[in-house]
Amino acid sequence: MHSKPLRQAVDLALDTMGMRGPVRRRDVAEEVLRAASDDYWALGDLREAKLAYLHNEIAVRMTAAHSPEFIEPYLTHVPDKYRAMLRRIPRFICVSPRGGRDAQHVMTFCATPADWEANFALKDHIVEATRISRDSARDIRDLLVATGCNSLAELLSSKEAAE
> CA torsion, points 38, 43, 45, 49, in degrees to nearest 10?
90
Domain extents for the chain? 1-63, 91-163
Average pLDDT of the chain, as a whole number: 92
Identify the band that residue 43 occupies on the pLDDT scale cut at 50, 70 and 90: confident
Q: What one-character-per-residue DSSP string does 101-125 give?
A: TT--EEEGGG--HHHHHHHHHHHHH
The residues, ordered by sequence, that sit 6+ positions from 125 with a Cβ below 8 Å of its Cβ are: 97, 98, 99
pTM more than 0.75: no
**What is the Cβ-side half-sphere exposure of residue 139, based on CA atoms within 13 angstroms?**
6
Q: How far apart are CA 120 and CA 37, in angstroms?
A: 45
Q: Is the pLDDT of residue 42 over 90?
A: no
